[in-house]
Each structure stands twice: as C-alpha cells, then as structure tokens.
C-alpha cells in the first residue's frame, strides 16, 4: 500500500476549517492515508480486519462486506483529493501534536454512513520518502531548469547583440527588450518571494 501511495500526488484539501495536504491509497485489503499541515505529518494504515471491526462499531445498521466498504471509502475520498468533493459528504477534524482524527459522514443505500480516520504522527522515514525527498528532487530539477533558461537567455542576448552590430533593426520598437541581468533578476525574484511569504 505504501509503495502505491508513493505514486499518488499530494492534494490540498479542507477538513472543517483547516487546510491540509493529503494523499491516500485504497485497496480491497485496506488503505493508507497521509496528511500534513506542513508543520506535522500524520498517517493511518488500516488492514481489512481493522476496517471491518471499525465499520461495525460506527455503522451498526449497515451490513456491508469489507471490500465493498473500502470501495465506498475510496469513492468518497478520491473525488475530494481530486478537487471534486461530494456535497453530501461532510468532514470534520480534530488534531493535536500527537494525533489527528478525521470524521466523515455520508450516506450509503439511504442510511447514514460514518467513518473515522485515526491518524498518528508519521515515522521520520515515511516523511522523508513522501515529502522531503520529492521536494528536494523537485528543487534540484527546478534549479537545473533555471540554469538552462539563464544560459539560453544569455545566448539569445548575444545573438541579438550580434544582429544589432550587423545593422539589423526592429520593425516594431515595442518588441525591444533589455539584456538579461541574472543577478538583478535573482534579487527581484527573492524580494517577491519574501513579500509573498509575509
């Protein structure tokens, strides 16, 4: 399940009045859910036996086989993670430094359908695999792209300068650009990042 979870993208979701990043993976054998508020990371991994026991406690009027129950959970959570929440499904959460409880209320066959996700702090290894390592890899890719684009801009400026020195002129003056100044660009960009963060 966790290996499959690695391929799932993070999604921004609202549970109650709180906004989180979340990802989940559901199978007939259980599910795994990972949630972060960028300060803490919580997770829950539940197998079919745990799901069956909890479903009986929360939904005494429902008689549903565990795989069908997990399928229903997936059908309620996946649209939410895709940015298309079901209006008939309500979520609320309560979290502390040591736990996060996510309560879900919906309907199944005309009867109330309840589920509680009981999340605990994610191990450091899991946080590294799902959050830290992908962020560092993406940061390195973006740095490489910036270096490549900077090199390309400098080459274009050299090409334009050569055209001008050869007597070429712009047919439309509004297309004129100033030569790219890498240091000035970096300073301006960082200033905008800081003002946006504040």
Tell me the per-residue pLDDT of 161-186, one tens digit each, with 9 for 90 and over.
898 889 888 888 888 888 888 888 88
- Give the pLDDT confidence of 2-49 residue by residue, as tens digits: 889 999 999 999 887 789 999 999 999 999 999 999 889 999 999 999
For CATH 1.10.287.450, the residue range(s) in the chain are 128-196
Under a CB-based contact definition with an 8 Å cutoff, are residues 180 and 153 in contact? yes
What confidence score (pLDDT) does residue 122 get? 95
CA distance 129 to 132: 7
| Buried/exposed 20-52: b ≥16 CB within 10 Å, e otherwise | bbbbbbbeeebbbbbbbeeebbbbbbbebeebb
Query: CATH number of the domain at 128-196, out of 3.50.50.60, 1.10.645.10, 1.10.287.450, 3.40.50.1360?
Result: 1.10.287.450
Distance of CA 145 to CAs 9, 42, 126, 151, Å?
A: 22, 33, 28, 10
Please report the DSSP string for 52-117 in residue order.
Answer: HHHHHHH-TT----HHHHHHHHHHHHHHHHTT---TT-EEEEEE-SS-EEEEEEEEETTEEEEEEE
Lowest mean pLDDT among 123-127, 151-155, 194-198: 194-198
What average pLDDT is seen over the chain? 90
CA distance 132 to 138: 10
- Give the pLDDT confidence of 98-135 residue by residue, as tens digits: 889 999 999 888 889 999 999 999 999 999 999 999 99
What confidence score (pLDDT) does residue 197 get? 64
Q: Is the pLDDT confidence value at 142 over 70?
A: yes
pLDDT confidence of 83, banded at 50, 70, 90?
A: confident
For CATH 2.170.210.10, the residue range(s) in the chain are 1-122
- Give this prediction's pTM: 0.77
Residue in this structure with the two tokens 């390195």, named with its chain if needed: 140
CA distance 44 to 113: 20
CATH number 2.170.210.10 given to 1-122: yes
């Amino acid at each position: 399940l966790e290996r499959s979870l690695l391929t799932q993208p993070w999604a921004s979701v609202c549970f109650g009045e709180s906004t989180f990043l979340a990802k989940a993976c559901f199978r007939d054998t259980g599910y795994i859910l990972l949630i972060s508020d960028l300060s803490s990371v919580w997770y829950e991994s539940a197998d079919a036996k745990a799901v069956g026991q909890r479903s009986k406690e929360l939904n005494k009027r429902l008689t549903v086989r565990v795989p069908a129950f997990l399928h229903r959970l997936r059908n309620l959570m996946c649209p939410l993670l895709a940015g298309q929440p079901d209006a008939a499904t309500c979520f609320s959460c309560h979290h502390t430094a040591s736990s996060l409880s996510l309560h879900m209320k919906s309907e199944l066959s005309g009867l109330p359908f309840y589920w509680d996700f009981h999340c605990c702090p994610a191990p450091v290894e899991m946080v590294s695999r799902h959050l830290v390592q992908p962020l560092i890899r993406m940061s390195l890719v973006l740095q490489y792209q910036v270096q490549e684009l900077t090199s390309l801009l400098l080459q274009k400026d050299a090409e334009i300068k050569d055209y001008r020195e050869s007597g070429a002129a712009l047919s439309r003056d509004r297309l004129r650009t100033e030569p790219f100044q890498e240091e000035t660009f970096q300073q301006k960009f960082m200033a905008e990042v800081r003002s946006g963060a504040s």
